[in-house]
Amino acid sequence: MDGASRDAIGDAAPVPTLNAPRAPRLVLGVCGSTAAFKAAALASKLTAAGVEVRCVLTDAGAQFITPLTLTAVTGQPVERDFWSQEATGEIHVELANWADQMLVYPASQHTLAKLASGLCDNLLTGCLSVFSGPRWLAPAMHETMWSQPSTARNVALLVEDGWRLLGPDHGRLADGSEGRGRLVDVNPTAELMLHALRNPQQDLAGTHVIVTAGPTIEPIDPVRVLANRSSGRTGYALASAARARGARVTLITGPTRLEAPFGVEVEPVESAQSMQEALERAYETADVLIMAAAVADFRAKHGATRKLKREATLSLELTGNPDLLAGLALADERSGRRPLRVGFALEDEDLLARARAKMARKRLDIIVANTPESLDGDLTCTHILSADSACARGPESKADFAHALLDLVCAQLAERA
């Protein structure tokens, strides 16, 4: 069984609120696991963000969390079985018709086995068996259970059948050991489900999206570096949003204090040169490239191998870093293919004119123009420019900006198809 988490209702970071004509609807299945208490935190967070959540609790799940707790955080009665006094015998069909998506959080080893075999012996498996929309599974169990060959076969079959898997994570388990089997934490799950409910079409499914993010740092000596103020939040928001829309995402990131977006392949780098090398490795299969990193323009020409001592005067000679997009243009010429390319222009004057010039010079399909104020905080103001359009946005959350930009990316990909 999965270990206890430090998450508690209301102690995690806020998630974006959805604006929709009708509230998104989620059926949340809760199975038997020590981690079942996390379901209350997740249901509370999603409900606060405007999602209608109806919980289906298995008998084993009810040993770990009470129906009253789930009712209290969702404002909805908890469904338990086919044959309750209130049920009509068709409650599984009614729930399936009501829901936009379904998530089992946590999903036990036993439930995974039943779903892989097509068994339908309780209300949760009944709901899932008649639901035709997106179905998500977040397994939670001890590592020895997760590593069983039978569990691996069941999970592989479920994924092949179209189920979407969240985790499990590696971490502390219920018995105090470390291993894989820990339920994915509340925050990344809530963020992913909000994005998925917002974009159920999965319009980036089958695409490989590369996102660069954060600053690069250039060593002066073993202690000191040249750096910039980029937080990486915009790039991380873009990676998370692209993953939620079905893309395979590679996030190439300079040093940040941000948690890696769930389900995203993360490649940490430091210098502009190491980012260039990571880009060249990933670029061959890319369909979309989003260059959101703040790459340092200069580096020390002669970095010191030992710590520089304080002196009255110190002269630091700089040299230019490689133009990452220019190098990728050569790869385009060799391969005969060209991913859709998105760049960023950070300017403190002549914003739009300079962005247009950079767009032409770098042969970008889309460019995002913003000012240095966008480096800090959770809100951003931008101009999104393409060859035939310009749109001023904000102030808005970086998550909302990310989806607006990806809407344009998807439109341009559709034109190419």
The 3 state secondary structure assigned to 220-280 is CCCCCEECCCCCCHHHHHHHHHHHHCCCEEEEEECCCCCCCCCCCEEEECCCHHHHHHHHH
Outline where 30-66 has alpha helix (H). 37-48
Query: How many other C-beta atoms are found inside a 10 Å radius of the C-beta of residue 330?
Result: 9
Q: What are phi and psi of 264, to 5 degrees?
A: -110, 135
Inter-residue contact 254 to 213 (CB < 8 Å): yes
Q: How far apart are CA 243 and CA 347, in angstroms?
A: 29
What's the token pair of residue 173?
């388990």
Inter-residue contact 28 to 42 (CB < 8 Å): yes
Q: What is the DSSP string of 105-149?
A: EEE-HHHHHHHHHT---SHHHHHHHH--S-EEEEE---HHHHT-H
Smallest Cα–Cα separation from 218: which of 157, 298, 292, 136? 298
What's the token pair of residue 299?
């580096």
Smallest Cα–Cα separation from 74: which of 53, 103, 56? 53
Show the CA angle centred on residue 68, arms to residues 65 and 73, nearest 5°.
Answer: 90
Inter-residue contact 120 to 129 (CB < 8 Å): yes
> Do you find a cis peptide bond into 149, omega within 30 degrees of 0?
no
Query: How many other C-beta atoms are found inside a 10 Å radius of the C-beta of residue 60?
Result: 16
Q: How far apart are CA 304 and CA 284, in angstroms?
A: 35
Catalytic site residue 228?
Answer: yes
The catalytically annotated residue of 19, 154, 187, 228 is: 228
- Rounded to a whole number of angstroms, the CA Rg of the chain reads 24
Q: How far apart are CA 324 and CA 328, in angstroms?
A: 6
Catalytic positions, written as ranges: 228
